[in-house]
Structure 1
């Protein structure tokens, strides 16, 4: 009888040790990617993914906490428990899926090359040989450019954040930028500093990163993944996702 009681107690302790209420969710975010996440003039975090995150927290009755982090440090920061989830344009890729778990898709984007208007450059290694292409560290753009272009004479230049990439493009230190089409269009090309720049060539087909962007989670936090996926599904069904989407886009970002 004592042995049975001991087994019961140990089991209860074990369950309690791994159970988590998720009364607060800490999201890792890189606020240099408007319209998904950025800061307004008052320093407040704003954007499509910020709104989605706040809505998810509300549905889970959890407090949203935002932890700013450079994008290339997102996965290490998540694994080190600096935050609980990554909500910052994290594309689903096989390489990342080996390290972390992903929720269901939040939105979709494609890689595009941005250059000066009228430039004859194209998103090919042949066209970009000897040219400098800026990318943000840790992004699918960096992975694609280093794999497909760098070995063929293209100078791929990584930056700590996207603002630095734009800065060097506009002062002439870069010939082009490789980035997601939605972010480039709304976060740069439609802004004053994007005047005189545009997309070069067509969208880049990259099977390793065309599965969309989602929230990144630790693999052991299966309970949080289940809760967040349910919230995303409910938001899609009841029209909340569409309402938030219309604040930022004139098209369907989910199936873009």
Structure 2
């Protein structure tokens, strides 16, 4: 009996100390982002990643005292690539939704802005309610909260889905769409460009919690609980020391963190 107890104790201690030895030391964090969602993340002509997401990510890595390495990934494959180990965290304006939380862990939000509907300037559409778009062709980026909202709430409209935001913008500009749904900041930024001069905001959309979630967070593999804690602590720190506000003011004239 004593021998069995000693063996059990030895096995327990080995598992305990083995787990400690194998705990990951985060000195480098690979961050997945899309690079096609201005002003939050985009690639410049010389292939440099810029935007609000990117600056926030760099500030968080500095607080965590880790090296940042960015990896670009098409939006549709963002979560599968995280789970496959292509990178360690997603900082790409990904909304914290119950559906996504079944697959990945999330930090708390780092910003929260509402969706909106953009239409051509000469459009007869006067609002963003379902009855306003009945019978209309409405575009949205696929695999987003915006396309899901259109599917569930704009039932009498025709949904056209696009791999990237740039593609629905092109169709809206060229008259192939009656409207498009996206984040109000993304749409407003585009409307201030020559290409976006074609269009206007018809109205904002009241977020639906089960679709839009509670804001944009950082997605991390569920087993990496220590990394979730590190990012959450870093978000609190940049909010407290003014770093977040400095980044916010670089891109926006209002507080994107939200309530």
Q: CA 1:196 to 1:109, structure 2 compared with 1: closer, same or farther past 3 Å?
A: same
* Structure 1 position 131, deviation (Å): 1.6
TM-score (normalised: structure 2): 0.91
What's 1:8 paired with? 13
What's 1:198 paired with? 200
Q: Deviations over 1:156-213 (max 9, x none)?
A: 1111111111111111211111000011112x11111100211013433323215111
Q: Does 1:225 align with 2:223?
A: no
What's 1:114 paired with? 118
* Structure 1 position 228, deviation (Å): 0.6
Specify the SS of the correspondent of 1:99: coil
Task: Give the CA RMSD over aligned residues.
Answer: 1.7
Where do residues 12-27 of structure 1 align in structure 2 (5 Å cutoff)?
A: 12-17=17-22, 19-27=23-31
What's 1:148 paired with? 153
What's 1:216 paired with? 219
CA–CA distance in structure 2, aligned partners of residues 6 and 101 of structure 1? 31
What's 1:164 paired with? 167
Structure 1 spans left out of the alignment, 5+ residues: none
Q: CA 1:74 to 1:97, structure 2 compared with 1: closer, same or farther past 3 Å?
A: same
Q: Does 1:97 align with 2:114?
A: no
Q: Does 1:58 align with 2:62?
A: yes
TM-score (normalised: structure 1): 0.92
* Contact 1:111-1:141 at 8 Å conserved across structures: yes
CA–CA distance in structure 2, aligned partners of residues 205 and 217 of structure 1? 24
* Structure 1 position 251, deviation (Å): 0.8
Larger Rg: 2
Structure 2 spans left out of the alignment, 5+ residues: none
* Structure 1 position 72, deviation (Å): 2.0
* Structure 1 position 250, deviation (Å): 0.9
Q: Does 1:79 align with 2:83?
A: yes
Specify the SS of the correspondent of 2:76: helix
Specify the SS of the correspondent of 1:214: strand
Q: Deviations over 1:108-162 (max 9, x none)?
A: 1111000011322132332322221111111110110111123x3x111111111
Specify the SS of the correspondent of 2:36: coil
Specify the SS of the correspondent of 2:254: coil
Specify the SS of the correspondent of 1:108: coil
